[in-house]
Amino acid sequence: LRNVSYQGNQILGKADLPVIRVKYVREWPAWHPFSWFGLGRSSGRCGPFEDRISPQRLKKNPNCDGKKLCQAEHTIQGVKWLELGVYAKIGQYHLYQAWYLSEDGRLYPSVQSWNLSCNTDHEHHAYWRLDFDIGGSDQDQVF
């Protein structure tokens, strides 16, 4: 997202998701013989990975008439929301990253994923980046 305004006031210069870190649980301790050789799950090692949603990884979304950028409007408990999202594939992962903006000024980032690269316990850590440009880029201090 770029140049986000609310009620005529600029709030954000830019908002994005530059990286999703994926950390896997090590299945065997370092001293276990199965962890000495091999790759991936067979060694007890998988990742960590850094997933980056980039333009070349964007796919046409069948749920959005085959477009790469999904735009939808929703009303939840009487509040209107705008959804802007993209679908991407990174390896075996399918990712849907979206921004939800409400008419009352709320902003919710979201990322959903499905499928597996390694069939073992893991956690996704989304690193959201928000460049606040409140009232213009020369006044972007947040206290």
> 67 falls in which pLDDT band (50, 70, 90)?
very high
Backbone angles phi, psi at 127, to 5 degrees: -110, 95
Q: How far apart are CA 28 and CA 30, in angstroms?
A: 7
Stretch 132-143: mean pLDDT, rounded? Answer: 66
Q: Assign 41 a pLDDT band (cuts: 50, 70, 90).
A: very low
Integer Cα distance of 120 and 44 in angstroms: 9
Q: Write out the H or E segment, with its range, that includes residue 44.
A: none
Mean pLDDT of the region 97-106: 95
- Is residue 42 scored above 60 in pLDDT? no
**Cβ(85)–Cβ(98) under 8 Å?**
yes
Beta bridge partners of 19: 127
Task: Compute φ and ψ for 72, nearest 5 degrees.
Answer: -145, 155
When pLDDT is averaged across residues 71-91 and rounded to a whole number, the result is 93
Supply the pTM of this predicted model: 0.74
Where are the chain's structural domains?
A: 2-28+43-138
Q: Is the dihedral of CA 2, 54, 84, 76 positive or negative?
A: negative
The length of the chain in residues reads 143
Would the pLDDT of 62 be above 70? yes
The yes-or-no verdict on residue 40 having pLDDT over 50 is no
| CA dist 133 → 1, 2, 10, 129 (Å) | 13, 10, 6, 13
More confident: 47 or 76: 76
HSE-CB at 91 with a 13 A cutoff on CA atoms is: 13
